[in-house]
Amino acid sequence: MKQSLLCLAIAAVLPIQVDAQTFERCTKTERGQFIAAADRSQRLALTATTAIGPNPAYTRWFGRYNAKSGEIVRRNLKSVVKALRSDKVSAVCHNVGEDLCDGETYAFVDKNEPYRVHVCPSFFQMDTMKDLTAESVADGNGTRAGTLVHEISHFDVTADTVDICYSRGDCSEMAITDPLDTLINADSYQYFVEDVTYFGVAGEAEAQ
C-alpha cells in the first residue's frame, strides 16, 4: 500500500474518534466492528478530500476534472466526514431475510432518517482496508469503511446521493459517458475514497 498520500492527509487533518450513538440488535463484536469501520471511513473521506484534482483517480470515478465538479465532490465528502464526526450515527443489525437483507445487500438506509444505518450480516464479512490486496480492491465489492461512506452519502442532509450504478466496471464507464451522474452516485464516492487511500491519486495499479 502506498503510504505517502495517506500520511500527508493525516498530517493535514486529524480525524476524531467515531462512536455510534446507539445500537439496535447488534452483538458486542458487531458493535466493535461497526465503530472501527466508521472511524476508518472518516479517515478515507478525509484522505480523499486532499486528492481532488486532475489526476487518474478522480478521472476514473468522476470524469474529467473541472473546478465546479471538484468542489461538489469536496463538499459532499466533507458532509460525510461531518456526519461521521457527530454523535448521531447509529446502527441497526439485521438477519438475512429481514427487510432488505437478502444475502447480497451489505447495508441500507432511509435517506430521510439520518444517521441511522441498517447493516446486514454480509457487511461484517466484507474486507477491512487492512485486508485488501491490489487484486481484491480492484475486483471486489469494496470494504466496510467504503460501504459506510456510500451509505452516509445517501442521507439528504449529507450528499443526497442515489444508486445509479453499483459495480466498478459500470461506475468507471459512467465517468466517461455521464460524468454529471457520478456526482450524485454513491458508489462513485466509495470507490474513489478506497482507491486514493490504497493506490494514491494514480488510481489502480494497471493505470500507473
Omega before 189 within 30 of 0, i.e. cis? no
pTM for this model (two decimals): 0.87
Distance CA 165, CA 172 (A): 9
Nearest CA-CA partner of 30 in 116, 130, 144, 154 = 144
Residue type, 87: D
Reading the chain (208 residues) residue by residue, the pLDDT tens digits are 333 333 333 334 445 455 556 899 999 999 999 999 999 999 999 999 999 999 999 999 999 999 999 999 999 999 999 999 988 999 999 998 888 898 789 999 999 999 999 999 999 999 999 988 877 777 778 999 999 999 999 999 999 999 999 899 999 999 999 999 999 999 999 999 999 999 899 877 554 3
Q: For 36, left (φ over 0), alpha (ψ -120 to 50), or beta? A: alpha
Determine the Cα–Cα distance for residues 147 and 108; give it in Å rounded to an integer: 10
Helix (H) or strand (E) holding 167: none
Q: Strand order in 116-119's β-sheet? A: 22-24, 90-93, 116-119, 107-108
Which are the contacts of 170, defined by CB distance < 8 A and separation ≥ 6? none
Grid coordinates representing 45 are 473521506
